[in-house]
Structure 1
Amino acid sequence: MEAKRLIVCGGNGFLGSRICKYAVARGWDVTSISRSGEPKWNTVTSSASPPQWARKVTWERADILRPATYAPLLKGADFVVHTMGILLEADYKGVLQGRESPIAGLRKAFSAAPQPGNPLERNVDGKSGDDADADIRPPETKEQLTYENMNRDSAIMLAKRAAAENVSAFVYVSAAGGAPVLPARYLSTKREAESAIASEFPRMRGIFFRPPFLYDSSRPITVGMAAMTGVGALFNGATRGVLGGFMGAAGTKPLKVDVVAEAVVEALGDPAVKGPVEVPEIEELANKSWRKTML
């Protein structure tokens, strides 16, 4: 049987790198796409040296906001995963150059100003539908990483390119119900991406993972934050979810990042899995995958 070919956009990140790891373990042909190529390993694992499995991954560089840079890499793919997004917005060049403070970025994130529609509505590919060189960012957000262009538009355009290549399954890493410390647009853009992908590309099996806060000992800060989130989850359970609407993702049990990564790979390999995948289903998929390795 020919090995499945998987493309992971954001494969050098905290979750994406582990998706690559579990896919390699299944004997799949894995390609990671990111702006920087191979990860800086000390930022995603506990070691600065690349793990052995990383040698079996093809680390490609491309810009998720410019489809022309990654479109050729999707040819022949069976599965595509989108793991990219931002928690907070900022004029990143302005912040780096000292022209804008991170606080200004926060104000933008919580603003109620009208936001651009999704790229399918804006026809960013041009009237002919063949102009893949179009930039996803609308002119007014040219230097801005926004929830719209990172959490929503990049995923929709990746799904469009994947569907054009007859990819059989597409995983979009969304999010559990919104935490109160994040702007409402963080979650709404995630849900908009899910909806657009499901409705616009029905022949492609869309899988929408909704993980809670992710942690791992390789990032000690996430362990402490997970403990705090876990307390919220216990409280939510003890009160039978009375404050669940207020607490959002902070009231959802955190998961180890490897659990979610293993579940993503299991879901891709199971034709029955499609649509939203909530925390209980994520754990079930990870357990199913783990049992397979024990046989």
Structure 2
Amino acid sequence: MKNILVFGGNGFLGRRICQTAVEKGYQVTSLSRSGAPPRVKATWEKEWIDKVKWQQCDILNPKSYTQYLRDADNVVHSIGILLEDSSYKAQVNGKLAFDVKKLLQWGPNPMKNNPNFTYEVMNKQSAVMLAQEFAKVKHSNDSVSKTMTYISADKSFPGIPSGYMESKRAAEVEIMRLEQELRPILVRPGFMFDESDTSLGTLNFRSQVKNMLDLANWSNKNFLGRRIECVNQLFRPTVSTQQVSRALIQKIEDPSFEGVLSLENIINS
């Protein structure tokens, strides 16, 4: 049975990768710090959540997950940080009215003294370490092409430190160096939202940012005709976690594909 191992499978994007893989007939295992399944947003989600094996590991300690790599055909690294402050995720994913002051005031940071909560460690080192460990694994069936997927990013966002994109691109370079041992897939989504949130009319922070970006893109297309390149680069299309997940599984199943899966390719998949 085809299988997939998702690191960070209970996260914002990771949960949808797990869901899509289950729906496509994969045996799915999620590894995360807590080992717990994601919160059920709707009763129908319980069906696919119950089909995933939810396991615990420390992404920075290979000994905690090497046992799972031995039988894995496909590995996905869906762990990373946008800011070097863990409390921002609660703000972004919470149901908050849009308020610039709230955006900038992230609140208490339970990991502010954790030296590992940095772009270098979380976005780069954890991914490169995982890829290197996976590359070492020898399968009994050598005809199976192992895929290593890294969730990178299309562009940075205004106000986000340069270290964010630098760590993403640096990780991509290191993973591509292992292409003789595995098939690398580098996914570059833009600003992501969840379709279930928008369908329910949820007014959380992500939904509001999506609406603003969609309006900016509509204006750029209809009033500026996308003729100003700097504006085109600033206002990139939004993409749903479901779109990203479907495009990712599609590329995993295409043995001829490796390298960068761009935002445009994700949208057009």
Q: 1:40 to 1:23 in 2, by over 3 A?
A: closer
**1:37 to partner: Cα distance:** 1.4
Residue 261 of structure 2: which of 263, 274, 277 is its match?
Answer: 277
What whole-Å deviation, never above 9, does each CA across 1:9-51 have from its counterpart, x for those lacking one? 0001111111111111121111000011123414xxx337852
Give the equivalent residue in structure 1 for 2:63: 68
Residue 22 of structure 2: which of 24, 28, 44 is its match?
Answer: 24
Residue 153 of structure 2: which of 175, 178, 182 is its match?
Answer: 175
Residue 6 of structure 1: which of 4, 7, 17 is its match?
Answer: 4
RMSD of aligned C-alpha atoms? Answer: 2.5
- Matched position secondary structure for 1:182: coil
1:146 and 2:141 matched: no
Distance 1:274 1:223 in 2: 32
What whole-Å deviation, never above 9, does each CA across 1:141-179 have from its counterpart, x for those lacking one? 853400000011100011011111246111101001211
Residue 211 of structure 2: which of 206, 219, 227 is its match?
Answer: 227
Residue 38 of structure 1: which of 13, 22, 36 is its match?
Answer: 36
Q: 1:259 to 1:143 in 2, by over 3 A?
A: same
1:53 and 2:40 matched: no
- Matched position secondary structure for 1:90: coil
Distance 2:256 2:217 in 1: 29
Which moves more between the two structures, 219-228 or 206-215?
219-228
Q: Which runs of 5+ in 2 are unaligned?
A: 88-104, 139-144
Give the equivalent residue in structure 2 for 1:86: 81
Distance 1:223 1:142 in 2: 30
Distance 2:7 2:68 in 1: 11
Whether the 8 Å CA contact 2:30–2:52 is kept in 1: the answer is yes
Q: 1:24 to 1:75 in 2, by over 3 A?
A: same
For 1:169, the aligned partner's letter is T
Whether the 8 Å CA contact 2:80–2:123 is kept in 1: the answer is yes
Q: 1:103 to 1:25 in 2, by over 3 A?
A: closer
1:258 and 2:242 matched: yes
Q: Which runs of 5+ in 1 are unaligned?
A: 93-100, 109-140, 286-295
TM-score with structure 1 setting the length: 0.72
- How much identity, in percent, do the aligned residues show? 35
Whether the 8 Å CA contact 2:220–2:232 is kept in 1: the answer is no
Whose helix proportion is higher, 1 or 2? 1
Distance 1:51 1:30 in 2: 15
Give the equivalent residue in structure 1 for 2:129: 157
Distance 1:224 1:102 in 2: 18
Whether the 8 Å CA contact 2:2–2:26 is kept in 1: the answer is yes
Distance 1:86 1:62 in 2: 18
- Matched position secondary structure for 2:208: helix
Q: 1:82 to 1:75 in 2, by over 3 A?
A: same
After the TM superposition, which residues 96-245 of structure 1 pair with which residues of structure 2 at under 5 Å, given as runs? 143-166=115-138, 168-216=146-194, 217-218=196-197, 220-221=203-204, 222-237=206-221, 238-244=225-231
Distance 2:30 2:132 in 1: 18
Give the equivalent residue in structure 1 for 2:141: none
- Matched position secondary structure for 1:206: strand
